[in-house]
Structure 1
């Protein structure tokens, strides 16, 4: 167990270092923060002066080495635009994204898993075809289009929910529905196919011979094995949401990490972008690690290996 934890810690460190190096190189090749901060001006002297003030006139390797030194000390730098430490900027925007991510994951689980179970319990039935049709329709619907439709119906036509903002829990209902339903097709199909395969296994026939049927058979013998691939997909889905859903946050005017990333790209705020990409990589490693632990709990064979 300790070897497993050590391997994961070393993997997280390697991912963080590789991600930081690639991100630093790409950002410095594609964005000129000095020109972005100055705005519409034809005076190269002004741009050069801002570049010197930010220390961007030095070689990229020197700036990256200094950034790693500050990172080792827990200092992720200061935002070029907001003139605040990037950790403070992250702390201001992260709660919105955290709420949205976990609520959207809850929507995905509550919708996709029951649909997949119901479809697998009666394959090729009318309910199975209806579930697959719904999954295909959701898969073909872009998030921004579905968000606008939900806004027009629930907010404008019915007046039940607010259109934008993140001040109350009611503001999170529509965005969570949009993000959650976007992941429903993959999770539903995986639940359905995994459960159909498990229900054809020998140990299920043995359980039926012992008298297990219906929900008791699914709960005690089938679901734990069928949900193993679903856990991995849900982990990736949660990681994507925690990284910030840019389109959804922009459509609903939510001040989360996705909108912060978009604003940082538009303004050339390299320290903030580096922080977001680095933390997103660490979040993915952490979430997949938790998924591995959950899979080991669900399947004893993984623990033995």
Structure 2
């Protein structure tokens, strides 16, 4: 197991290094950052002065090495627009996105996995068809439209929940449902397909023939093997929720890191955009690494392979 973890850790470090270079260079491949900061009406002298001021005239590898060395220590420079340290700006906003992401993936797993298991136990039944309907509706329904419907019903008509803000846990109820519902269809279908495949296996029939209870067969033997691909999918979905929650944050006026990314891109705030891309990418890498370790613990065959 230790050898497996070290191999995955080395791979994660290599991927992190590659992603950091790509995230840094993309800002320069999209155009001249000095010209973008100077504005359309700036003269050539003004653009050149900004290029020298921010060090854009130096080789890209030199800029990348300095940026990465500072980023490792938590120093991402100063925001061009907000005139604040990027690290403190992101730290202030990231907590909202983290809470929303954790609540969203928890809601998705706690809802989709049981539905997928029940649908697999009773295929072609009413609950199986209901789960299929929820899966199709979740894929077809735009997140912003679903969020607006919830606001109209529960905030405006019924007055049960606040429509925006982050002052209490109630502010996160509707955003959690919207974000989690988007991830439910894939998790539910994967759980159902995995359970159907496992329940038809020989070792499941053997366990039942030995007199094992149905609950033990389902949860100890079947679900443990069927849940392995779901763990990997949940890690990817969690990374998406942290990096792609901009629509939900905009609808419910949650000024988290996703909304900050949208603001920074629109204002050519390069240090903030670079830092956010790197941080969101690190989340993906960390969650993928943890899911690989958990899957290896659940399935010893992965360690040997």
SS for the counterpart of 1:124 is coil
SS at 2:229 equivalent: helix
Q: More displaced, 8-17 or 195-204?
A: 8-17
Task: Check whether the contact 1:97–1:244 (CA below 8 A) recurs between aligned residues.
Answer: no
Deviations 1:60-83 (A, max 9, x none): 343223213323554322221222
Q: Distance in 2 between matches of 1:281 and 1:104?
A: 19
Moved more, 49-58 or 223-232: 49-58
Q: State how far apart, in whole Å, the 1-side matches of 2:24 and 2:96 are.
A: 26
Indicate whether 1:245 and 2:245 are aligned: yes
Describe the superposition over 1:3-36 as per-residue Cα deviations: whole angstroms up to 9, x where unpaired: 3333333323222221122222221232555555
CA distance in 2, matches of 1:132, 1:155: 29
Cα–Cα, structure 1 residues 74 and 195, in superposed 2: closer, same or farther, change >3 Å?
same
Partner SS, residue 163 of structure 1: coil
- Report what 1:42 is aligned to: 41
Moved more, 23-32 or 124-133: 23-32
Report SS of the residue matched to 1:80: coil
Higher mean C-alpha displacement, 59-68 vs 288-297: 59-68
Worse-matched range after superposition: 45-54 or 181-190: 45-54
- The question of whether the paired residues in 2 share the 8 Å contact of 1:36 and 1:267 is answered with no
Q: Per-residue displacement from partner, 1:101-133 (whole Å, max 9, x unpaired)? A: 110011101210111011100111222112111
Residue 265 of structure 1 corresponds to: 265
Q: Are the aligned partners of 1:79 and 1:85 in contact in 2 as well (CA < 8 Å)?
A: yes
Q: Which residue of 1 aligns with 2:3?
A: 3
TM-score (norm 1): 0.92
Instruction: Please identify, of 52-61 and 280-289, the stretch whose mean Cα deviation from structure 2 is larger.
Output: 52-61
Q: Which residue number corresponds to residue 134 of structure 1?
A: 134
Contact 2:236-2:288 within 8 A present in 1 as well: yes
- Distance change (3 Å), C-alpha of 1:73 and 1:209: closer
Distance across 2 between alignment mates of 1:239 and 1:300: 26
Distance 1:8-1:300 versus aligned 2 partners, 3 A rule? closer
Please say if residues 33 and 267 of structure 1, whose CA atoms lie closer than 8 Å, have aligned partners that are also in contact: no
Structure 2 unmatched runs, 5+: none
Cα offset for 1:47? 4.8
Q: Which runs of 5+ in 1 are unaligned?
A: none
Distance in 2 between residues matched to 1:296 and 1:13, nearest whole Å: 19
The corresponding residue for 2:190 is: 190
Quick one: structure 1 residues 2 and 217, their matched pair in 2 at CA, closer, same or farther if it must change by over 3 Å?
closer
Question: Deviation of residue 278 (structure 1)?
Answer: 1.3
Residue of structure 2 equivalent to 1:225 = 225
Give, in whole Å, the separation in 1 of the partners of 2:247 and 2:32: 24
Contact 1:191–1:227 at 8 Å: present in 2 too?
A: yes
Write out aligned runs for 1:107-256 (5 A): 107-256=107-256
CA contact (8 A) 1:147 1:251 kept: yes
Query: Counterpart in 1 of 2:22?
Result: 22
Q: Structure 1 32/156 Cα, relative in aligned 2: closer, same or farther at 3 Å?
A: farther
Report whether the alignment pairs 1:80 with 2:86.
no
| TM-score between both structures, scaled by the size of structure 2 | 0.92
SS at match of 1:162: coil
Counterparts in 2 of 1:131 and 1:269: CA distance versus 1, 3 Å: same
Distance 2:297 2:7 in 1: 19
Residue 275 of structure 1 deviates from its aligned partner by 1.2
Q: CA deviation at 1:46?
A: 4.7
Tell whether the 8 Å contact from 1:90 to 1:257 is kept in structure 2 after alignment: yes
Q: Paired residue for 2:91?
A: 91
